[in-house]
A and B are shown apart, each in its own frame.
Chain A
Amino acid sequence: MAEKLSMRLQCPVPKMDFDVIQLGHGSGGLMTHRLLKSGVFEVLQNEFLREEHDGSIVDLTGKTAITTDSFVVSPVFFPGGNIGDLAINGTVNDLAMCGAKPQYLTLACILEEGFALEDYWEILLTIREAGKAAGVQIVTGDTKVVEKGKGDGIFINTTGIGLVHPQADISVSKIRAGDVVVVSGLVASHGMAILSVREGLEFETTLKSDTAPVHDMVWALLDQFGPEIRFLRDPTRGGLASTLNEAASQRKIGIQLEQNSIPMLDEVEGACELLGMDPLYVANEGIFIAIVAPGIADQTVAKLRQFPLGKHASIIGRVVNDNPGQVVLNSSIGGKRVVAMLAGEQLPRIC
């Protein structure tokens, strides 16, 4: 794992008379107070949190987007990040998918009794850095502790609000036949990185999660193309396949994908081959899918490629009238197959 933030930022874990989270930290009493004071407030300090109130008052004018997401990941620390990155970037990206620039986030943590304080500290620092990188402020939050065995170390919920781009008109109902499907970056890196460190399933790889905020890229697209960006979605759980299937079935159109055009690291492809996983169903974090008007498809890719996160942006398919409600893949050897919704979680195959 990369060097810890607490080492790099010279933010040692605060000296406290405990090294793991205890039930009392959720009691609301002195222990809670100390944990918050020297933990959350100290690390995330800003004008809103300084009030130490149960809520915050913010100023917003214009069309506002709101989203909430809960984060449960095992293991909590993985190559390329930890649950803190996901909690910020996930919500920031959900706002971005509404065409909004993220402004404020709430942060609720459910900690399991016995969770290492050092790990909690590391996650808070990660949250601070990810928040800074995304340009959002954490304005209010909550911390609860559950008994040992009733959680998985730490669960996080974040709710975000952001202002919608004045030219944005993003909706599944805007998709029409002829539109082009663009993906902003490499597919399946996050899911395979997590899998590579999951207990009992470890395999050696240098793969890293791609967790990152994508709202700057989205904002730039909306600046340039406005309502010609018809639909945005980040293909997190369930991957590319599930996200596109949702769009196809909601809008009752067909989506045709070109297998050869889907950008993917060789390592990811190799790991998927080895484990019998289909990369189209593997989770992503730092990429998004844009369905755009046919006339701007190439420019969309060109624009995205100006960003470091977008340098692998590619056109991967088209919206068609055939096979309404379905995603059909033109395989790399010229065959066709239906990319169906998964019944449940994708499970590695025996042979």
Chain B
Amino acid sequence: MKYLTEYRDVALVQEYVRRIHQLVTKPWSIMEICGGQTHGLVKNGILEMLPEQVTMVHGPGCPVCVTPLHLIDDAIALAYQPGIILTSFGDMLRVPGSKESLLEAKANGANIQMVYSPLDALKIAQKNPDKEVVFFAVGFETTAPANALSVIQAAALGLNNYSILTSHVLVPPAMEAILSDPETRVDGFLAAGHVCTIMGMEEYYPIAEKYRVPIVVTGFEPIDLLIGIYETLKQLEAGSYQVDNQYARVVQFGGNPQAKEIIGKVFITSDRIWRGIGEIPGSGYEVDQDFSGYDARIKFALGHREVPEHPECIAGQILKGLRKPIHCGQFGKGCTPEHPLGAPMVSSEGACAAYYHFAQMKNETING
């Protein structure tokens, strides 16, 4: 397939793997920010190809993993209300809330529909004028423009039965939160290609400078990932800390101005709770006052509550790269892909699920 196969070339993969092995002289930990990158590493078996000294730390860029528990509970509570249709991206459905997941709530009679895009949710709102349609607007900067656009369109169409429950999070503040943790073991970052496609690269320069970490904006195909890793390692071995762009075929320095403008119209930056990590200042989006009629939180007067995580789930430490899934007492016992206690066990890009399957392949005991 054009624009894909070129980035899956076996000879080139082997060449970069060889270069990486040749380059590395000491142990390094590199965090790939985005769940899509984790998925690419796992799906293509790249983790297995890297030298033992290179540890890939699966970062917090799995949007469903960091959506706070109380918001999932809120979404479920809305979906049980008669007259409300809750719409959501597919992979959010299986993430456990404090009592149940959206999928379980659906089985118990909650009105939940899966969509690919908020614009499909908008269509559902148009078709069901007697119902309130709420879109669970989850994601990073990547999904923000489309979610914002759905609000703008709803306003333009005069649709008053559409609103979004936002759980938008932003990458750079999360990177800072991770780096400022004294226990952090991350030496370099693969920045998320798609996030940078929207937002550009500017935000990363001060981070690289302040924490002296190399940051390489990286794509998602095998060659992208290997070049991203190689370039990061090259900087680490040389002791430099620049912002580099491996994904230049997509990412421009200034990002996508139109998308940023749409985000700016609908959202304002706010403090956000990240599941497992806690509150990070300025790390998310809320619907701006001008569009408060489309903010499900205001429309349905949802309060703000703290809901405790499962006491034995160490997802937060895993997302920060402080511990490995195999260090968790529940890993593979009380917590499996069928019965996840925490979000990283849910989707294939979740760090725990990835480890669960790989440990099995290597015939390792999954209890560490």
Chain A residues with CB under 8 Å of chain B are 200-201, 203, 266, 269-270, 273, 275-276, 278, 323, 326, 328-338, 340, 343-344, 347-351
Contacts and interface: CB of A to CB of B under 8 A. Distances in A.
B104 to A, nearest CB: 10
B352 to A, nearest CB: 12
Given A344-B94, A351-B35, A351-B139, A201 B361 contact: no
B64 A350 contact: yes
Interface size class of B (residues with CB under 8 A): 35 or more
Contacts of B140: 351
A331 B43 contact: yes
A269 B358 CA distance: 25
A317 to B, nearest CB: 15
Contacts, number: 117
B212 to A, nearest CB: 29
Interface residues of chain A: helix, strand, loop or mixed (majority): loop
Contacts of A348: 89-91, 114, 116
A343 B338 contact: yes
B14 A334 contact: yes
Contacts of A330: 45
Contact of A351 (B44, B63, B113): B63
A270 B360 contact: no
B8 interface: yes
Contacts of B114: 200-201, 347-348
Contact of B124 (A200, A275, A331, A349): A200
Nearest to A330: B45
B34 interface: yes
B347 A349 contact: yes
Contacts of A334: 10, 13-14, 45, 49
> Which one of B4, B114, B116, B347 has the greatest number of beta carbons of chain A within 10 Å?
B116
A347 B91 contact: yes
Contacts of B357: 337-338, 340
15 contacts: A200-B113, A201-B114, A278-B43, A331-B45, A334-B13, A334-B45, A335-B222, A336-B48, A337-B357, A338-B357, A347-B90, A348-B91, A349-B90, A350-B64, A350-B91
B194 interface: yes
B342 to A, nearest CB: 14
Contacts of A201: 114-116, 120
Interface string B179-217: 000000000000000100000000000000000000000
Give me the 5 closest cross-chain CB pairs, A-B, nearest first. A335-B45, A347-B90, A348-B90, A343-B337, A338-B357
A300 B4 CA distance: 32
Contacts of B89: 348-350
Most buried by B among A331, A333, A338, A340: A333
